Amino acid sequence: MSSKKTSFVVAVVGATGAVGREMLRTLEERKFPVSRLVALASKRSAGQVLPFAGSEVVVAELGPKSFEGVDVALFSAGASVAREYGPVAAKSGAVVIDNSSAWRMDPEVPLVVPEVNMAAAESRPKGIIANPNCSTIQMVVALKPLHDAARVKHIVVSTYQATSGKGHAAVEDLLAQAKDVLAGKDVTPSVFPGQIAFNVLSDWKAGDMDYSEEEWKMVHETRKIMGDDAIGVSPTTVRVPVVNGHSESVHVQFHRPMSAEEAKRLLKGADGVVLMDEPYAPGKMPTPAKASGTDPVYVGRVRDDIAVKGALNLWIVADNLKKGAALNAVQIAEKLFVR
């Protein structure tokens, strides 16, 4: 998209939430040319004051006239809000970039990761672009250079997903539970369906065939982003007692054999990727603690599979609030409006 404008009116829907706040920080950090910021949220959150670009912005209540004059609308307020107000924003002339699951599998809505399929964003009949699920984003960024070289055939992925992916209240629940456990008290979950402190859970809604909704997202979204419905995806998604940063163990098979050495050459310098290719040693791997607060997708432990010749095993880590959500959305806006 070409434009003679040099600065833009940007709306952030769900500005008071964890991802909404990260969107504001990301716009500021990356110096996106914002002429005016419109912070929007529910009636309950309206009136809050948020810091932005050395100043402050007052949160307004989301409504049908919120998008007049807006160039780009970043949504992170849940699927129901996106379904209702995404078309309203688009009709007002804004390019909508939505972080919820509402539009991801709509055939008229591109599902975009800039390092993987930015060209898809040019065709958006509804004026809406979908941001993929956080766990899908980091995996496809890491697999894209390998897919280009040898075409991915089958992925087996197990995730270790942070509590921040469920929102700020989930992080508070983890911390409160941890205090109770350490104090020898019974745990009473407020957000999670069970104990998350010093434990692991699969806490997403049920989907088809005894898989969770989160697992199905990784199947369908990976195929749509990669442009290949034949890719096999075998997912297991798990929540772990980590505040921020998702990790993934990925086994991948290709249409031709690929060695770990070739994969490392392809990953070194790949767009959005930081490769940690040191030989195995205790503690020498990407971790969510080190990834949190940073932009890249970290890939380590790239190994030839012992049992399946020509297949690989990888360990992939990224900040789920940044690359897994806010950063990906802002990068799409940058590619469309700035460069």
User: Which residues are the active-site residues?
Assistant: 134, 246
- Give CA–CA dist 59/47, Å, rounded: 5
Q: Do residues 226 and 147 make contact, with C-beta atoms less than 8 angstroms apart?
A: yes
Q: Do residues 112 and 144 make contact, with C-beta atoms less than 8 angstroms apart?
A: no
Q: Six-digit token pair at 77?
A: 């307020």
Q: Beta strands 312-318 and 246-254: pairing type? A: antiparallel
Q: Six-digit token pair at 61?
A: 């209540």
Helices (H) and strands (E) in the chain, counts: 9, 14
Phi, psi dihedral angles at 92 (to 5 degrees):
-75, -10
- Give CA–CA dist 4/337, Å, rounded: 9
Query: Based on the number of CB atoms within 10 Å of its own CB, is 173 exposed (0-12), middle (13-18) or buried (19 or more)?
Result: buried
Instruction: Tell me the sheet residues that pair with 275.
Output: 299
- Give CA–CA dist 90/72, Å, rounded: 9
Instruction: Tell me the sheet residues that pair with 239.
Output: 161, 201
Q: Six-digit token pair at 263?
A: 């994969």
- Give CA–CA dist 240/248, Å, rounded: 12
Phi, psi dihedral angles at 308 (to 5 degrees):
-115, 110
Starting at the edge strand that comes first in sequence, how are the strands of the sheet with 246-254 ordered?
232-239, 152-161, 246-254, 312-318, 297-304, 273-276
Selection from 305, 154, 151 nearest residue 234 by Cα: 154
Selection from 100, 101, 103 nearest residue 19 by Cα: 100
Sign, CA torsion 165/327/142/110: positive
